[in-house]
Amino acid sequence: MKTMLNIALPKGRLGEKVYNMFEKAGFECPSIHENNRKLIFENAEKNVRYFWVKPSDVAIYVEHGAADIGVAGKDILLEYEPDVYELMDLDIGKCRMAVAAKKDFYDDVEKTLKVATKFTNITKNYYGKLGRDIDIIHLNGSIEIAPILGLSDVIVDIVETGTTLKENNLEVIESIVDISARLISNKSSFKFKNSLIEKLTDEISKQMEESND
């Protein structure tokens, strides 16, 4: 039996961009362009199998070895801290994790700060380092309305262009960390499919160097 390289891609625009990079690197899988609802695509000739998963699940597939490699945002890696190798910063899907508040927000340090976020772990670590007492309110979406409705003082969320914040009368008051897409690998797969993985990473670094020139 041939060794297949199993690759988990995040559904959506970022995933398609990543696939194009992989295709150029010699790991093409033409059937992926067929317009259907299939989630798994295979090209036995190139020893490669792709599957589309929810972006926040990529790290889980890779950590448990269901995928050998995958592409996940740094936000997901910081939030879930999966036990994987972080082989490469792909320099795409760039944004930042930031603290945002209403424009007239005054930070009274004597009070416990109420923070609404999807990223509880990142938030806990960030304020833990500052030694600030906080209450975390975990939300799954529409984080921006939390300060407007008085649910929280501030929010911790991903900021891409800042348009959503502006439209909701919020502004960034503190940047936490820069985010971009990372190529991650399962630790065990890295040993046993090393030549395939190294071939891929070499080709992709070449591509990235070319585009930087």
Tell me the C-alpha distance between 199 and 116, whole Å: 42
Binding residues among 87-106 for other proteins as defined by CB under 8 A: 87-89
Work out how close the CB of 192 gets to other proteins at its nearest, in angstroms, rounded to a whole number: 4
- Could you say whether residue 64 binds other proteins (CB under 8 A)? yes
Q: Which listed residue (85, 171, 172, 173) binds other proteins by CB under 8 A?
A: 85
Work out how close the CB of 70 gets to other proteins at its nearest, in angstroms, rounded to a whole number: 13
Q: Applying CB under 8 A, what is the total number of residues that bind other proteins? A: 18
Compute the half-sphere exposure of residue 161: CA atoms within 13 Å on the CB side of its CA. Answer: 3
Work out how close the CB of 85 gets to other proteins at its nearest, in angstroms, rounded to a whole number: 4
Work out how close the CB of 134 gets to other proteins at its nearest, in angstroms, rounded to a whole number: 21
Tell me the C-alpha distance between 100 and 174, whole Å: 7
Q: Which listed residue (31, 86, 128, 175) binds other proteins by CB under 8 A?
A: 86
Q: How far is CA 150 from CA 48, 56, 105, 155, in A?
A: 50, 28, 11, 11
Work out how close the CB of 137 gets to other proteins at its nearest, in angstroms, rounded to a whole number: 21
Tell me the C-alpha distance between 154 and 78, whole Å: 20
Tell me the C-alpha distance between 23 and 20, whole Å: 5
Binding residues among 140-199 for other proteins as defined by CB under 8 A: 186-192, 194
* Cβ closest to other proteins, residue 112 vs residue 194: 194
**Residue ranges with strand state E in 118-191:** 134-138, 154-159, 170-179, 181-185
Q: Which residue has the tokens 């160097």?
A: 209
Q: Which listed residue (65, 112, 135, 175) binds other proteins by CB under 8 A?
A: 65
* Cβ closest to other proteins, residue 43 vs residue 180: 180
Closest CA to 33 of 19, 18, 47: 19
Q: Which residues bind other proteins (CB under 8 A)?
A: 63-65, 83-89, 186-192, 194
